[in-house]
């Protein structure tokens, strides 16, 4: 073959030919020379790869393994082993078991030539590995719901499995939050109350606070109807109000153990800070992995097609129907991606006139979205005020149903808003002319914002009610004492109600909507209507939003109601089983499937948004609103946060000045600047790396072209040699 012909061939061809040549060559060379190695493997580039992946034997050695005589093999394997004597586990070789067995025999015979010390070392490392393995096997049995999650994964694939793993993560998170609060706040109180340790309460010394502010009438128990117990249980009023479930119960200044006074207010504030910080750190730690891969992929759809094709099939899927769903979702996804590419081209070709039209349309539609959001927020605001105003006055006169309705009005309005707005958003997004992928993400983001912001609106409404007094001056206590003698407890009750109502809704939907629907669809399948309706889809985004909403409530409420994390833990455990049952028996997996890598990051992102939204109202109520004077550990402080400066003032002076230095502007501003500089440095570094990657890629393709050319030359030369010999 001449040089010119090789260079004029289309890029796909020469390699093919080179490949064939190489194959024939390798056969020939095995006749000529003793080591059956194709010379391609002697190329430096191949060697470096082989050293990096000693575990993988070149592919052509495996084809027809059993057909070949084994002698040439074992010699090769022996070579491999002598090459890497660092005793790699045999199972990491890509061989079948009989090959591996032989490999092990070789390894063992080689062992005999080693010194005793080496033999002992080898032996002990092996038994250590075995021990580790056994330990790991044991620990997997301790994992919560391992079996359930694995069987779900086996049936429905990894997308739905990631939802359940997420749920399990939330259960653990809430459990840990509860343990923190329990250890710091509850345990000292309980130990003293039930006289387990020899300790006593330190009561709050009455400071010159106005007597009017300290009035806290706990609703007297006169004649109690039976139903009022139920109402109390559902809304946290009555007999539940003065239990350790709520803030108002902790009206003590400290616990005195022999000669050490446990500062309860400080512990209370610190536990709040601790659980928020812990949640933040835990979420960030979990999302770092997903963030990395997300960042890599976001670079101009880097490898998105390869990921979809090579890692597209979920080998966990067993059931026929789920496999069909997976087929169709893959088909849909691939088509959508190709479509998106075409749309992107179209956008690039768009005229300025069209661009203006689309942007103005989007602006208009976004205004509508904002209007919808505003309307929902206003409705929640009105409902909260109405419920707050009517709750206290008419509690005796009202009948059971009406009473409960008023108590639960904010929760009902919030749930309704969360039910209606996603439908509106889904309709609106169609007219905005985004690419399909972006469409889904934007809708989900809007729903997330809607769901989580509603809780914030509720809390802000309560806050504004608390700090506004109608007809007498608020200066006395700093908040509306008449309506809210112990406002923290009331906010806690509101959160408690939201949490219970959310659970009730989830249970009711499963029991009274999904289950009858399933029965109708299965047993009345002759009716066209029911068939079109179909079973309930198990839509992952909605479900995730639901549990993140619950978690946000828990974060906000845990300050006002220290036992709320425990309630949340129980609630998530119940939800886990309910969802599992509904997935197995009443729902079908959604045709639009989620990828595990995608969804894990998305879930945590939504959770992070929830945490941020929870921190805002919490900081305001801790740092701004005066703490109630009638109840709680902070009756002697203006705001809750004042505990911390007070504690700092008891520090030794050097430490005090250090703390003041760190919190002052003189430190914060330069610190912020330095952080910005570091960030810019990393951004610039990333840009440089990106450029280097492009250059290296070009160089690689050049090198490979060189290599192919050289191989051709070499084969020609060898053939010439042989011809001359003949």
**What CA–CA distance (Å, rounded) separates 149 from 166?**
11
Chosen residue from 705, 716, 718, 719 binding another protein by CB under 8 A: 705
Q: Pairing between strand 254-257 and 587-589?
A: unpaired
**What CA–CA distance (Å, rounded) separates 541 from 418?**
13
If the CB atoms of residues 16 and 430 are measured against another protein, the closer one turns out to be 16
Q: Which residues contact 210 (CB under 8 A, 6 or more apart)?
A: 476, 477, 629
If the CB atoms of residues 362 and 705 are measured against another protein, the closer one turns out to be 705
If the CB atoms of residues 697 and 713 are measured against another protein, the closer one turns out to be 697
> Cβ 28 to another protein, closest distance in Å?
18
297-336 residues in contact with another protein (CB under 8 A) are: 297, 302-307, 309-320, 322-324, 327-328, 330-331, 334-335
Give whole-number Cα distances, 659 to 654, 655, 663, 665, 676, in Å.
9, 6, 6, 12, 23
If the CB atoms of residues 619 and 699 are measured against another protein, the closer one turns out to be 699
**What CA–CA distance (Å, rounded) separates 631 from 647?**
21
Chosen residue from 104, 193, 357, 713 binding another protein by CB under 8 A: 104
If the CB atoms of residues 291 and 515 are measured against another protein, the closer one turns out to be 291
Q: Pairing between strand 254-257 and 260-263?
A: antiparallel
458-477 residues in contact with another protein (CB under 8 A) are: none
Instruction: Kindly write out the interface string for residues 27-56 of this chain, putting x where it contacts another protein by CB under 8 A and - elsewhere.
Output: ----------------------x---x-xx
CB 162 within 8 A of CB 542: no
Buried b (16+ CB within 10 A) or exposed e, 532-543: eeebbebebbeb
685-704 residues in contact with another protein (CB under 8 A) are: 697, 700-701, 703-704
DSSP secondary structure, 67-114, as one string? TS-SHHHHHHHHHHHHH--S---GGGSS--HHHHHHHHHHHHHHHHHS
CB 553 within 8 A of CB 543: no
257-296 residues in contact with another protein (CB under 8 A) are: 290, 293-294, 296
If the CB atoms of residues 158 and 489 are measured against another protein, the closer one turns out to be 158
CB 328 within 8 A of CB 589: no
If the CB atoms of residues 464 and 522 are measured against another protein, the closer one turns out to be 522
> Cβ 495 to another protein, closest distance in Å?
36
Chosen residue from 35, 154, 534, 645 binding another protein by CB under 8 A: 154
Assigned token pair, 391: 């709750």
Name the strand (E) or helix (H) holding 338: helix 320-348
Q: Which of 258, 286, 253 is nearest to 268 (CA)?
A: 253
| DSSP 3-state of 638 | coil
Assigned token pair, 276: 């928020």
If the CB atoms of residues 161 and 237 are measured against another protein, the closer one turns out to be 161
Under the binding rule (CB under 8 A), the answer on residue 67 touching another protein is yes
CB 568 within 8 A of CB 174: yes
DSSP secondary structure, 682-701, as one string? HHHHHHHHHHHHHHHHHHHH
If the CB atoms of residues 15 and 639 are measured against another protein, the closer one turns out to be 15
646-685 residues in contact with another protein (CB under 8 A) are: none
CB 102 within 8 A of CB 135: no
If the CB atoms of residues 15 and 443 are measured against another protein, the closer one turns out to be 15
- Name the packing angle between helices 436-467 and 409-429 (round to 10°): 150
Chosen residue from 7, 8, 84, 96 binding another protein by CB under 8 A: 96
If the CB atoms of residues 74 and 294 are measured against another protein, the closer one turns out to be 294
> Cβ 130 to another protein, closest distance in Å?
8
If the CB atoms of residues 15 and 636 are measured against another protein, the closer one turns out to be 15
Assigned token pair, 226: 């039976």
Extract the runs of DSSP E, i.e. beta strands, from 415-478: none
> Cβ 339 to another protein, closest distance in Å?
9
> Cβ 264 to another protein, closest distance in Å?
46
Under the binding rule (CB under 8 A), the answer on residue 100 touching another protein is yes
> Cβ 227 to another protein, closest distance in Å?
44
If the CB atoms of residues 22 and 490 are measured against another protein, the closer one turns out to be 22
> Cβ 693 to another protein, closest distance in Å?
11
> Cβ 169 to another protein, closest distance in Å?
16
Chosen residue from 66, 363, 399, 529 binding another protein by CB under 8 A: 66
CB 613 within 8 A of CB 552: yes
What is the signed CA dihedral for 123, 124, 130, 136, rounded to 10 degrees?
-160
> Cβ 13 to another protein, closest distance in Å?
8
If the CB atoms of residues 90 and 539 are measured against another protein, the closer one turns out to be 90
> Cβ 80 to another protein, closest distance in Å?
15
Under the binding rule (CB under 8 A), the answer on residue 206 touching another protein is no
Assigned token pair, 515: 């289950």
Chosen residue from 338, 347, 511, 692 binding another protein by CB under 8 A: 338
| DSSP 3-state of 302 | coil
If the CB atoms of residues 22 and 228 are measured against another protein, the closer one turns out to be 22
What is the signed CA dihedral for 517, 520, 521, 525, rounded to 10 degrees?
-170
> Cβ 363 to another protein, closest distance in Å?
34
Instruction: Kindly write out the interface string for residues 544-563 of this chain, putting x where it contacts another protein by CB under 8 A and - elsewhere.
Output: --------------------
160-179 residues in contact with another protein (CB under 8 A) are: none
Instruction: Kindly write out the interface string for residues 113-152 of this chain, putting x where it contacts another protein by CB under 8 A and - elsewhere.
Output: -----------------x--x---x------------xx-
Chosen residue from 42, 118, 143, 341 binding another protein by CB under 8 A: 341
Hey, how many other C-beta atoms are within 10 angstroms of the C-beta on 305?
14
Chosen residue from 34, 59, 532, 691 binding another protein by CB under 8 A: 59
> Cβ 75 to another protein, closest distance in Å?
21
CB 325 within 8 A of CB 591: yes
> Cβ 706 to another protein, closest distance in Å?
10
Hey, how many other C-beta atoms are within 10 angstroms of the C-beta on 522?
11
- Sign, CA dihedral 623-629-633-638, equals positive
> Cβ 315 to another protein, closest distance in Å?
5
Chosen residue from 6, 90, 175, 570 binding another protein by CB under 8 A: 90
Chosen residue from 4, 44, 69, 97 binding another protein by CB under 8 A: 97
Q: Pairing between strand 587-589 and 536-538?
A: parallel
Q: How many residues bind another protein (CB under 8 A)?
A: 83
Q: Which residues contact 305 (CB under 8 A, 6 or more apart)?
A: 337
Q: Quick one: which segment of 88-96, 237-245, 251-259, 651-659 binds another protein (CB under 8 A)?
A: 88-96
580-609 residues in contact with another protein (CB under 8 A) are: 595-597
Q: Which of 565, 719, 661, 670 is nearest to 175 (CA)?
A: 565
If the CB atoms of residues 285 and 393 are measured against another protein, the closer one turns out to be 285
Q: Quick one: which segment of 86-94, 392-400, 462-470, 479-487 binds another protein (CB under 8 A)?
A: 86-94
């Amino acid at each position: 073959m001449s040089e010119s012909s090789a260079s004029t061939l289309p890029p796909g061809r020469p390699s093919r030919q080179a490949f064939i040549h190489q194959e024939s060559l390798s056969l020939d060379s095995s006749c000529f020379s003793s080591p059956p190695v194709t010379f391609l493997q002697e190329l430096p580039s191949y060697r470096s790869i082989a050293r990096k992946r000693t575990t993988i034997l070149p592919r052509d050695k495996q084809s027809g393994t059993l057909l070949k005589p084994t002698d040439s093999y074992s010699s090769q394997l022996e070579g491999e082993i002598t090459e890497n004597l660092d005793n790699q586990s045999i199972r990491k070789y890509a061989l079948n078991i009989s090959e591996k067995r032989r490999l092990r025999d070789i390894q063992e015979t080689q062992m005999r030539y080693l010194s005793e010390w080496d033999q002992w070392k080898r032996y002990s490392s092996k038994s250590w590995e075995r021990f580790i393995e056994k330990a790991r096997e044991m620990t997997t049995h301790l994992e919560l719901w391992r079996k359930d999650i694995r069987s779900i994964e086996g049936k429905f694939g990894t997308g739905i499995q990631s939802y359940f793993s997420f749920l399990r993560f939330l259960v653990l998170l809430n459990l840990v939050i509860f343990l923190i609060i329990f250890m710091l706040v509850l345990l000292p109180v309980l130990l003293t109350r039930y006289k387990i340790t020899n300790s006593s309460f330190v009561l709050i010394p009455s400071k010159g606070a106005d007597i009017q502010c300290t009035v806290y009438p706990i609703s007297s128990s006169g004649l109690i109807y039976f139903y009022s117990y139920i109402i109390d249980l559902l809304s946290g009023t009555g007999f539940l109000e003065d239990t350790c479930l709520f803030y108002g119960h902790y009206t003590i200044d400290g616990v005195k153990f022999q000669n050490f006074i446990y500062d309860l207010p400080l512990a209370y504030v610190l536990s709040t800070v601790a659980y928020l910080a812990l949640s933040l750190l835990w979420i960030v730690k979990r999302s770092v992995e997903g963030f990395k891969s997300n960042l890599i992929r976001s670079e101009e759809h880097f490898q998105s097609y390869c990921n979809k094709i090579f890692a597209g099939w979920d080998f966990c899927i067993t059931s026929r129907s789920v496999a069909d769903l997976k087929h169709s979702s893959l088909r849909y996804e691939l088509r959508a991606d190709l479509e998106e590419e075409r749309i992107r081209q179209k956008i690039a070709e768009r005229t300025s006139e069209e661009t203006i039209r689309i942007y103005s349309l989007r602006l208009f539609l976004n205004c509508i979205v904002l209007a919808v959001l505003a309307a929902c927020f206003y409705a929640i605001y009105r409902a909260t005020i109405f419920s707050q105003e009517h709750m206290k006055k008419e509690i005796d006169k009202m009948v059971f149903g009406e009473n409960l309705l008023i108590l639960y009005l904010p929760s009902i309005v919030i749930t309704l808003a969360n039910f209606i707005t996603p439908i509106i958003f889904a309709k609106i997004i169609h007219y905005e002319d985004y690419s399909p992928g972006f469409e889904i993400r934007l809708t989900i983001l809007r729903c997330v914002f809607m769901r989580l912001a509603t809780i914030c609106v509720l809390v802000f409404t309560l806050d504004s009610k608390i700090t506004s007094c109608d007809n007498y001056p608020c200066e006395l206590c700093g908040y509306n004492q008449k309506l809210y003698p112990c406002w923290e407890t009331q906010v806690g009750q509101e959160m408690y109600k939201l949490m219970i109502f959310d659970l009730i809704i989830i249970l009711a939907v499963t029991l009274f909507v999904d289950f009858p629907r399933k029965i109708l669809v299965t047993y009345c399948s002759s009716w066209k209507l029911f068939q079109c309706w179909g079973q309930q889809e198990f839509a992952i985004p909605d479900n995730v939003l639901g549990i993140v909403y619950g978690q946000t409530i828990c974060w906000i409420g845990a300050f006002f109601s220290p036992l709320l994390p425990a309630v949340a833990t129980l609630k998530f455990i119940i939800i886990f089983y309910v969802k599992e049952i509904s997935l197995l028996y009443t729902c079908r997996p959604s045709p639009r499937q989620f990828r595990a890598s995608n969804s894990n990051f998305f879930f945590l992102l939504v959770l992070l948004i929830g945490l941020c939204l929870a921190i805002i109202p919490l900081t305001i109520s801790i740092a701004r609103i005066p703490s109630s004077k009638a109840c709680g550990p902070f009756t002697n402080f203006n705001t809750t946060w004042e505990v911390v400066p007070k504690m700092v003032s008891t520090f030794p002076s050097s430490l005090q000045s250090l703390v003041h230095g760190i919190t002052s502007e003189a430190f914060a501003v330069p610190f912020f600047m330095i952080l910005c500089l570091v960030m810019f440095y990393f951004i610039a570094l990333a840009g440089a790396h990106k450029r280097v990657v492009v250059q290296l890629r070009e160089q690689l393709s050049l090198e490979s072209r060189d290599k192919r050319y050289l191989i051709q030359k070499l084969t020609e030369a060898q053939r010439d040699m042989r011809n001359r010999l003949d």
